[in-house]
């Protein structure tokens, strides 16, 4: 799995917003085993130098995002600011189209992605499981797609499993990261068993009663799901199939 010019060993990408304290955030990041953390430009700006110092100390690769942007202009401007601040061409692109569900605006997302790709950004678009939208984002220059599992912060898991399976099968050579809506480690494991390349989440760890332990649980679940996929799960059957053969059983008269 490559994210543009980088091949991470960890399949877990972790957000940095909403933690009880910078200390717990740092401990959760270390417990997660992640190599990539997402950072909102507004979040970083509000925390000032202390947050920058924490990022430097953790020595993780930063994926800035355009969280909270509702227009193409706002997203593109935020991306430019993030590139200067974090010295990276990476950008997680969010163009929100619906205030309640935080569903991406497909038209604005494609337009912003095209502009940023033409300007040399390496774009990670937050999208839906829609195949047409995915094709348009790839045509715009994206090399990674990040479909939602459910609305951001909802913890509902994978609401459209069949749609996500279809997306995985259709874009078989494209890195796909399930982004948003994951609430428990079991949901993350399921996504990995389905063949997705990585999981990006924030709220499920940040708002847990014990964020550090939850980060560790997600790390293990994501690894387990990936290993299960590689091991080749058994096919699902409609009827029972005895695991013990009838031949050789004792006969009682």
User: Is 141 marked as a binding-site residue?
Assistant: no
DSSP secondary-structure letter at 95? -
User: Is 202 marked as a binding-site residue?
Assistant: yes
User: Is 253 marked as a binding-site residue?
Assistant: no
- Take residue 83 and report the two structure tokens written for it: 């590139």
DSSP secondary-structure letter at 104? B
Q: Is 172 a catalytic residue?
A: no
Closest among 126, 105, 129 to 201, alpha carbons compared = 126
- Take residue 96 and report the two structure tokens written for it: 């929100």
User: Is 184 marked as a binding-site residue?
Assistant: no
User: Is 49 marked as a binding-site residue?
Assistant: no
* Neighbour order of strands in the sheet with 146-147: 146-147, 122-127, 90-93, 61-65, 36-40, 12-15, 198-201, 177-179
Angle in degrees, 0-180, between the axes of helices 185-193 and 211-231, rounded to the nearest 10? 20
Please tell me which residue in 92, 136, 172, 207 is annotated as part of the active site.
92
Which residues sit in the known binding site?
153, 180-181, 202-203
Binding residues for 1-deoxy-D-xylulose 5-phosphate: 153, 180-181, 202-203
Catalytic residue IDs? 92
């Amino acid at each position: 799995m490559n994210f543009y010019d980088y091949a991470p060993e960890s399949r877990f990408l972790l957000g940095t917003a909403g933690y009880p304290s910078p200390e717990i955030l740092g401990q959760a990041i270390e417990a997660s085993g992640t190599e990539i953390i997402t950072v909102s430009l507004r979040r970083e700006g509000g925390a000032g130098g202390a947050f920058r110092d924490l990022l430097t100390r953790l020595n993780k690769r930063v994926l800035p995002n355009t969280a909270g942007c509702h227009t193409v202009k706002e997203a593109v401007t935020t991306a430019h600011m993030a590139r200067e601040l974090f010295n990276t061409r990476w950008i997680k692109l969010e163009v929100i189209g619906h205030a309640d569900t935080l569903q991406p605006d497909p038209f604005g997302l494609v337009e912003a992605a095209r502009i940023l790709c033409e300007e040399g950004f390496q774009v990670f678009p937050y999208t839906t499981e829609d195949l047409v939208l995915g094709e348009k984002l790839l045509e715009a220059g994206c090399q990674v797609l990040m479909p939602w599992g459910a609305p951001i912060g909802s913890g509902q898991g994978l609401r459209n499993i069949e749609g996500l399976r279809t997306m995985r099968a259709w874009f078989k050579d494209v890195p796909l990261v399930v982004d948003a809506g994951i609430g428990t480690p079991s949901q993350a494991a399921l996504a990995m068993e389905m063949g997705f390349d990585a999981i990006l989440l924030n709220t499920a760890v940040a708002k847990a009663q014990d964020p550090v332990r939850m980060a560790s649980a997600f790390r293990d679940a994501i690894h387990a799901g990936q290993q299960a996929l590689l091991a080749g799960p058994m096919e699902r059957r409609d009827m029972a199939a005895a695991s013990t053969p009838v031949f050789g059983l004792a006969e009682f008269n």
